[in-house]
Structure 1
């Protein structure tokens, strides 16, 4: 029996069993359709374009047409879109010009019904009619007039840009080859040079691995780069599945082949652990490095590190989300613009504050401004938690194992009960398009829960301390040890992202198996990935290590924060300006992935040079000045 199940699942990867024939499929109305938006806007003051969801019904239930029978059959099949619920954009000014424009804008129920009757005439020949379930109309006038906040943010951004240009010219004039550092001896010179794009470009592109510890950890930049590329690719698939599709049959085929579930079900729950693992690893190493030879770690050190982390993450994040909350809606217009860009704009206007407090991940996913920032919020939370744990470890070193075990047990129990609330369903085309479905929301909320991702803290603390303690010791010296290391890391890292996802798809009715996987996979993945990275610090890894330490990739690793922040806005911008449903196939998806990766890193360059590195340099200069003052006080005392 189990062999039959595996064979059936394997066969579904390459085949599609269609519920209806191609001729029957072609007889149904288009699920997605957009009238010519720009032509509609040419109607001047009378221009009215409405995006509607249109529920279809048979004209006579007792004598339903053949087309309706096909629609009903397809709509009741999970691997298809709801073909009885059309998502259309219609130019009311052209199709139904007699309906008063203001009445529709005011959501007058009577005239919405009149528009339903008017649009139903399009399907008369199929013996089908329909009713509008949701409607959103727009005119030539923008829904987002420029206001006070737009001007304030615009002035701030322009001031920073002018400051960067001025500092760069000042720097080039006084020190074209960076040999004259006299102007940096004064506070004004130090401040201004922090904004120099010439100086920051040199820092960005210079690789200095003279420090043995930095050289051993150089692969982390490459790992960071490849992981962000993976995130961008995953989000590219997501955004393309959440917009109108010109050829929905392709998406229905893709889902039924279970390609997404095979590769994605396991990985979407665990791969983000890599970012947290590396962050806590470096934090732990720095903690022990900074406090070498000290008997007690002052709590002000913890506060200083938290403040430093906050000032490190905030400037670039603030730049992106403030732009989304002010000027982004003014860039363009289109049939999907308000639903994609406008929604983000309204959310950021309402909930921007929780991003600055780094608590956005505790809110429901559909209420988050820039919902991809759950990762940044959690990174900050993990920084605080890890520092408190490390501070407690320093005071009570014998209690480390008990504390870590207790934290891990809390994670498993918490995740177990959260998972019990989720009704596991295979992701279908309809839920991909309508991302507000309850089952999607529950899964996404589980992913971004702080307690659910705790294994990254535990693994990061353990591997960070091991690296610090044995950084000058070669432990993997025998060939047998290296082989065991390869086997352990590959079976844990890859095993938790691919094979369990495949098993759960085959036996998805086994809820206990699914729950156990969710509870344990993050732990297995975090420790397996950490073991692999630790092995690379020992000099092993072969071609993977070389790929992670390749100089161009090392430099691109420094741009990953900006690329991660900006890539969803690029994807939403492209989706928002669509004028026709998006045509998809395997090749176009590959090209789109490459395009989004390229644009994300290209735009990350000015973001990093203009908004990240200058403020990072100011922060470092301020802390250095404070350290000098503190040392002088100690000498005087």
Structure 2
């Protein structure tokens, strides 16, 4: 659904695009023909400070800002070449021009100017300062989106009488879906100065209201706060423990560990990079038959990153000089693999439920139902296991990421994580609209599903058939209510299905419940072989045909752009596709576990997937930061093509997995080791053992 919304918004922002190019309407003809004439507003007109002073008595813009703008305007005196200043020309050149060349390819949406040239300006009186603004019509469907932002993030402006048709056409072209414009001004002007000044100067030019959304000040200084120092201190402490632990581990490996006190080895060896990497890349025997889950987990993670890469490029990404190219791109059937990528999350839900029920039933069977202590630790261990790396990434997102390099686009907004972090670590952020680390709604939903699993697992342990029937009824209920949850989205494009359906646990339990049932079946069938015979082979063949057909239909038969669907067809698909996907995937896991996986099962069980799967959780946490880092580095217009986006996707997957590995080493593994130390010293469990390597 997120990609349906993305496509809808993009079609709005490119309403004048058709078949990969722009319709040459009368309005756009006026824009092109008048782009070099006196009729269109230009930056020289906007820089006339005297007009501003005469029309505005309120002191909304600082006097120093006005004085420096006047100096800048004076340096652009083209009537007197001797008075033309190179630094002023450089500032003017660094400002995005309206309209930009390439209107036929949709360039009206992106006019970044040149941030590098702007920041190089130094005339001895002031420096260049780069601002980035996005323009929207308030009456457009984007208005609801804009209201999600605090009022100081955008500026609503009412302007005066229309001056000519060309200006009106320009306004329409710029604001139909949002245009990004870079502005280079003196550094004595702050964001408020620029907002009020440009608004006032436009007041006699256009007769409509518009939004200047998220006017970003690239030169603003980033100051250190107490939270930043605390985060830095925590990171340095963890890195010091990792360094000490690695040195101790190396000493033990090379036979000089006798000088190391056993207590120090117990405390620090678990932090060792060597030990952690050894665990990650160790591939044990596939005794449980669940190795196929590693392949599904890794490729689902790749699918998530690729889908979010397309989303970030189209909706929040770099400057694009040919957005009209997306019109052809979206018509390609191959793009359905991207539009329908949300099922990758259902893969995670199914896998999570399967592993939980399978592994917990093993322990419950050993303990004959489990003690009170067991069930308390069931919750405690799960919380610590998930929250360690999660809290570390939240901490960085609330503090230190703002010091990372940034370009014209600044995506390092620490406010959500610094203010609403508690909703994440308490796992109810899926009930908030503007959240820290938006992709982590999944963790909240899975935790909420997890809370009720002891009842289900105990039922499966005591009366397996009753447990599976009960879980199956919950799956059916979760599937059925999606019909009514998605019904408003059929004829209401403003219906917020993302927050009302997509991220709510009662709509997502269907996939999780399928996984719970699969885990119980695999546990009860462990060590048992299917009867060899023609009937079994026919059932296996039918299962594979139905499973693969279902997967292909869900991905490729559903066209998000289809206009011929009836309401019943739309709702039937929205109701059934997540549960159907999970059942199809569950069959692949079951068949592979029983030795009927064929080439697909062999590929999924490939040992290389095991270490990669161990990094996916951390990669999921950090991949949005990786995408934001890439997008914020692009300071110029890009000519996008499918091939270029594919290369960007490959890069993002590799960097996200590498960053995920670093997160495992710095946050996930150390927190898990600290948990063992804590409960070991409390007497709840045994202390971790010291690894004493044999001499070679």
Q: Same fold (TM over 0.5)?
A: yes
**Corresponding residue number in structure 2 for 1:415:** 482
Counterparts of 1:36-51 in structure 2, within 5 Å, are: 36-43=114-121, 45=126, 47-51=128-132
Residues 265 and 603 of structure 1, relative CA distance in 2, 3 Å threshold: closer
Q: How far apart, in 1, do the equivalents of 2:290 and 2:680 lie?
A: 24
Cα deviation, 1:104-162, whole Å, max 9, x if unaligned, reads 625774x33334369x7xxxxxxx89865215555575354110000001000011001
Instruction: Give the stretch that moved more between structures: 140-149 or 160-169.
Output: 140-149
1:92 aligns with 2:185: yes
Counterparts of 1:24-103 in structure 2, within 5 Å, are: 26=103, 30-43=108-121, 45=126, 47-54=128-135, 64=165, 85-93=178-186, 101=189
**Corresponding residue number in structure 1 for 2:199:** 113
Using structure 1 for the length normalisation, give the TM-score.
0.80
Larger radius of gyration: 2
Q: How far apart, in 2, do the equivalents of 1:412 and 1:628 lie?
A: 41
**Corresponding residue number in structure 1 for 2:227:** 149
Structure 1 portions without partners, runs of 5+: 1-14, 76-80, 121-127, 427-437, 631-637
How far is the alpha carbon of 1:409 from its aligned partner? 4.1
**Corresponding residue number in structure 2 for 1:362:** 431
1:273 aligns with 2:346: yes
Q: 1:208 aligns with which of 284, 289, 294?
A: 284
Counterparts of 1:98-247 in structure 2, within 5 Å, are: 101=189, 105-106=192-193, 109=196, 111-116=197-202, 133-137=211-215, 141-142=219-220, 144-176=222-254, 186-209=262-285, 212-213=287-288, 216-242=289-315, 243=317, 244-247=319-322
Q: How far apart, in 1, do the equivalents of 2:134 and 2:662 lie?
A: 41
SS at 2:179 equivalent: strand
**Corresponding residue number in structure 2 for 1:448:** 503
Cα deviation, 1:488-532, whole Å, max 9, x if unaligned, reads 211223322322x13x64355522221221122121111111011
Using structure 2 for the length normalisation, give the TM-score.
0.73
Q: 2:456 aligns with which of 374, 389, 414?
A: 389
Instruction: Give the stretch that moved more between structures: 608-617 or 232-241.
Output: 608-617
**Corresponding residue number in structure 1 for 2:54:** none
Cα deviation, 1:57-77, whole Å, max 9, x if unaligned, reads 999989845x977996xx6xx
Contact 2:162–2:207, Cα closer than 8 Å, also in 1: no
Q: How far apart, in 1, do the equivalents of 2:564 and 2:553 lie?
A: 18
**Corresponding residue number in structure 2 for 1:491:** 549
1:249 aligns with 2:252: no
Cα deviation, 1:459-509, whole Å, max 9, x if unaligned, reads 11211111011111122734323311211211223322322x13x643555
Residues 166 and 401 of structure 1, relative CA distance in 2, 3 Å threshold: closer
Q: How far apart, in 1, do the equivalents of 2:177 and 2:359 lie?
A: 59
Residues 510 and 58 of structure 1, relative CA distance in 2, 3 Å threshold: farther
Q: How far apart, in 2, do the equivalents of 1:348 and 1:293 lie?
A: 42
**Corresponding residue number in structure 2 for 1:376:** 443
Structure 2 portions without partners, runs of 5+: 1-17, 30-101, 138-157, 688-696
Contact 2:298–2:613, Cα closer than 8 Å, also in 1: yes
Q: 1:521 aligns with which of 577, 580, 583?
A: 577
Contact 1:48–1:137, Cα closer than 8 Å, also in 2: no
SS at 1:332 equivalent: coil
Q: How far apart, in 1, do the equivalents of 2:107 and 2:670 lie?
A: 55
Residues 135 and 379 of structure 1, relative CA distance in 2, 3 Å threshold: closer
More helix as a share of residues: 1
Q: How far apart, in 2, do the equivalents of 1:531 and 1:248 lie?
A: 41
Q: 2:668 aligns with which of 612, 617, 636?
A: 612
SS at 1:497 equivalent: helix
Higher relative CO (Cα under 8 Å, sequence separation at least 6) belongs to: 1
Q: How far apart, in 2, do the equivalents of 1:135 and 1:522 lie?
A: 36
Q: 2:627 aligns with which of 564, 568, 571?
A: 571
Contact 1:41–1:140, Cα closer than 8 Å, also in 2: no
Cα deviation, 1:317-364, whole Å, max 9, x if unaligned, reads 122121111011111243211xx222xx11111111111112211222
Q: How many residues are paired up? A: 566
SS at 1:494 equivalent: helix
Cα deviation, 1:39-60, whole Å, max 9, x if unaligned, reads 2233454534332334699999
1:582 aligns with 2:638: yes
How far is the alpha carbon of 1:170 from its aligned partner? 1.6
SS at 1:550 equivalent: coil
How far is the alpha carbon of 1:308 from its aligned partner? 1.0
Residues 107 and 385 of structure 1, relative CA distance in 2, 3 Å threshold: farther
Residues 144 and 629 of structure 1, relative CA distance in 2, 3 Å threshold: closer
Q: How far apart, in 2, do the equivalents of 1:131 and 1:91 lie?
A: 23
Cα deviation, 1:173-221, whole Å, max 9, x if unaligned, reads 23337x979968x443212111111122211221121x621xx111211
Contact 1:236–1:596, Cα closer than 8 Å, also in 2: yes
SS at 2:451 equivalent: helix
SS at 1:133 equivalent: strand
RMSD between superposed Cα atoms in Å: 3.5
Residues 597 and 362 of structure 1, relative CA distance in 2, 3 Å threshold: same
SS at 1:145 equivalent: coil
1:550 aligns with 2:619: no
Cα deviation, 1:585-615, whole Å, max 9, x if unaligned, reads 1111111011011111222222212322232
